[in-house]
Structures are given as structure tokens and as C-alpha cells.
Amino acid sequence: MDKDTGTTYATATQRGLFEARRHRPRARDWVVGLFAGVLMALLFGHGLVPEARGMALAIESFLPWFGMVIAALLIVALLSRAWAGSIPAAAALISWCVVFLPVMATGAAPSSAAATSGEPSGWSIVTQNLRAGNPHASEAVEKLITSGADVVVLQELTGPTLERIAPLMDGTFAYRQVAGTVGVWSRFPLSQGRPLALGLGWSRAMSMEVEAPEGPVQLYAVHLPSVRPGEVGNRNRGLAKLSRILEADPSQRILVVGDFNAANTDRAFAPLLATLDDARTGFGFTWPASLPATRPDHILFRGFTLSGASVITTPGTDHLAAMAWLQPGAVRPTVSLNASSL
């Protein structure tokens, strides 16, 4: 047998160096890891992002969608065999699940807001931004009437729109309160209605008492100032003023309903969640109606238990309607808000 004298074999030391180079993080690992770290930092530290140029607004409004971005990043890491980079990507995905899976399961993290299983019970309330000048406003409110809601809260209720929908709404609901461009129709008696100024030159909010079957409920119907990238000051001041009003309200049962122009992940929304629960199931996105990606429409409550929630598509509107079924529940202890949080 001829002897192969042309082949050389790596020594143990050389093989060790080769293995070390093979398992050393490559550029793709560092890139994936960096992106995963940034996404995780934004997930938990979005409150530190400056509001300049609308950065904070964009991030906080669409924070739930980070899950899809992180999942895509993890898939890319695995397909490209960026094994080291997949570790922080997986950690970021787990972190997102910790934050948002409770929301997907019940709609809201606080236990008092957890929806019960089975058919919704109690009475129902729905909120809808009709869109100013909506030519299909009558068809939109017909959908809300068909839903069987006991209380309907409408925003962007212009004069001509009110004239068109009044016969339909007044023929179904016995009680009505209107202030500026916000209106409330109810099957239960309404009293003590008064407009609230939350930052604009005309009334877009009001409070009243609802004589519900379980007793009086203080209802706030609101439409907070609109926001644009870099223009959130009016809305933030309106939310802060609303928070102070609610903090001073001793009512055992409270509902705050309408278009807040803020997702519940928005830093300016946090003071409201210190004393109230957000009624929804899953993410319940409502805007834009054509492809909902965030939820500026809320039904906040205290002194109730949420038994169900849904969204409703209505003609001609740019928001989906948000609906919730509520029944009497334990009163959640109020939390004192300091001036710095407002």
C-alpha cells in the first residue's frame, strides 16, 4: 500500500483555535443582538423617549406591534444561523409576551377588569367617533342601535349630523344629553349634565349622572384634543386635567368614555389607569377603521366588572366603535396622584 505523504493533520491546538473561530459571534449576530436590545429597551423604557418630532407618540401608540417585529427578527436570526444573536431576540420576544399576553387574554391586566367566560351580562355601553361630515351617520347609528347598547356616546357630532340622527336615536333612547360635539343617549335617566373644558375653545366633554339599575353612575363623555407628530401638548394637558377631575370624584361607580386620542400605552394615559380599568378584550384596535392598528377609543370604569367587550364596524367612520358589557363589581381602591405624574 502506498503511503500518503501529502496530507497533513491539524494538531489539537490548531483544532481548538478553529472551533473557537467557528463559534465566535459574527457580524450578523451583533446586528441581530443590537436590534433586539433596542426593541427590548423601548418595550420597557418607552417613557424615556423624547416627544420631539412625534417619536414617543409613534412608539407608544403602536407598542403592541413590537411583537411582530421581534418575532420576525428571531426568525431571521435562526434562518441566517446567527445563533448568538438569536438569544437576545428570544429574550426580547419573551419580554413582550410577559407584557402583552395578559392583555391579549383578558383585554386589561388589572384583575378587576378580567372578562368572565360565557355570554356577556349586565348592561352595555358603546362609544363611536362618527367622523365630522360623515354622509352615512344615520346608517352608523343604526348599527349602534342594533347592537342593543343601553348607553351610546358619540363624538364629532356636528349640527347637521345631529339633525339627521336625532329622530333615530331619540326614537330608541328615552334620555339625551349633548354638549358641543359630544352626545350621550341612554335607556336610563340622565341628570346633572354639565360641559367640561379639557383644552379646546369649544365643548368636547361633559359629565352627568346615570340612574343605572345598580344605582347612580357618574359618566364622563370625552373627546380629547387631536394629536399630530410633535403636537401633543393640548392633548396631554387635557388628559392631565381629566385625571385631576377624576381623582377628586368620590363616586363609587364611574365611567369615562370616548375618543382619548391616546393608546393606553401612552405615557400621558398612565394617570387614568391608576384609578380606572380599561374595558376591552384582546387589543381591540379601533383606528384607522380600514386597518385598525391602535386604540384611541376607551371605556374606562371603576366599580364594575367587565363581562364582555367588542368592536363594531360602522359606515363612513374612521374609527371602529368600542362596546363593553358591565355589571356591578367591587370598588377598586383609588390611588392618589401626585402633581409630578400629571
Could you give the residue ranges of the DSSP H alpha helices within the chain?
12-23, 27-45, 55-61, 66-79, 83-106, 137-146, 159-172, 233-247, 270-273
Shortest CA distance to 114 belongs to which of 326, 333, 336? 326
CB atoms < 10 A from the CB of 325, how many? Answer: 24
Shortest CA distance to 153 belongs to which of 175, 135, 121? 175
Q: What are 110-119's pLDDT values in tens digits?
A: 334 444 445 7
196 close to 206: Cβ distance less than 8 angstroms: yes
Tell me what pLDDT residue 11 has: 65
Residue 332 DSSP one-character state: P
Residue 331 DSSP one-character state: P
Q: In this prediction, what percent of the chain has a pLDDT beyond 70?
A: 84
pLDDT band of residue 290 (cuts 50, 70, 90) is very high
CB atoms < 10 A from the CB of 14, how many? Answer: 10
Q: What are 17-62's pLDDT values in tens digits?
A: 445 455 566 788 889 899 999 999 998 988 888 877 778 888 998 9
Taking the alpha carbons of 99, 103, 109, 111 in that order, is the dihedral positive or negative? negative
Tell me what pLDDT residue 109 has: 37
What is the amino acid identity at position 196? L
310 close to 90: Cβ distance less than 8 angstroms: no
Tell me what pLDDT residue 90 has: 93
Whole-number Å distance between alpha carbons of 298 and 320? 11
The better pLDDT of the pair 300, 229 is held by 300
What is the rounded average pLDDT of the residues 60-79?
92
For 17, the grid coordinates are: 483555535
Cα→Cα distances 227→53, 130, 195, 223, 298, Å: 12, 18, 22, 12, 16
5 pLDDT above the threshold of 70: no
Q: Which residue has the cell 368614555?
A: 257
The set of residues, in sequence order, having a beta carbon less than 8 Å from that of 326 and lying 6+ positions away, is 122, 123, 124, 125, 255, 279, 301, 304, 305, 306, 307
Q: What are 161-170's pLDDT values in tens digits?
A: 999 999 999 9
Q: If residue 153 lies in a helix (H) or strand (E), which one and from where to where? A: strand 151-155
Whole-number Å distance between alpha carbons of 116 and 111? 11
The set of residues, in sequence order, having a beta carbon less than 8 Å from that of 19 and lying 6+ positions away, is none
Whole-number Å distance between alpha carbons of 50 and 47? 8
For residue 328, the SS3 value is strand
Residue 294 DSSP one-character state: B
DSSP 197-231: -SSSSS--EEEEEEEETTEEEEEEEEEPPP-BTTB
Q: What are 175-228's pLDDT values in tens digits?
A: 999 999 999 999 999 999 999 988 776 789 999 999 999 899 999 999 999 988
239 pLDDT above the threshold of 80: yes
Q: In this prediction, what percent of the chain has a pLDDT beyond 90?
A: 63
Q: What is the CA radius of gyration of the chain?
A: 26
For 279, the grid coordinates are: 374595558
What is the rounded average pLDDT of the residues 64-93?
91
pLDDT band of residue 66 (cuts 50, 70, 90) is very high
The conformational region for residue 78 under phi > 0 = left, psi -120 to 50 = alpha, else beta, is: alpha
Shortest CA distance to 255 belongs to which of 132, 342, 111, 150? 150
Tell me the pLDDT of the chain averaged across its residues: 86
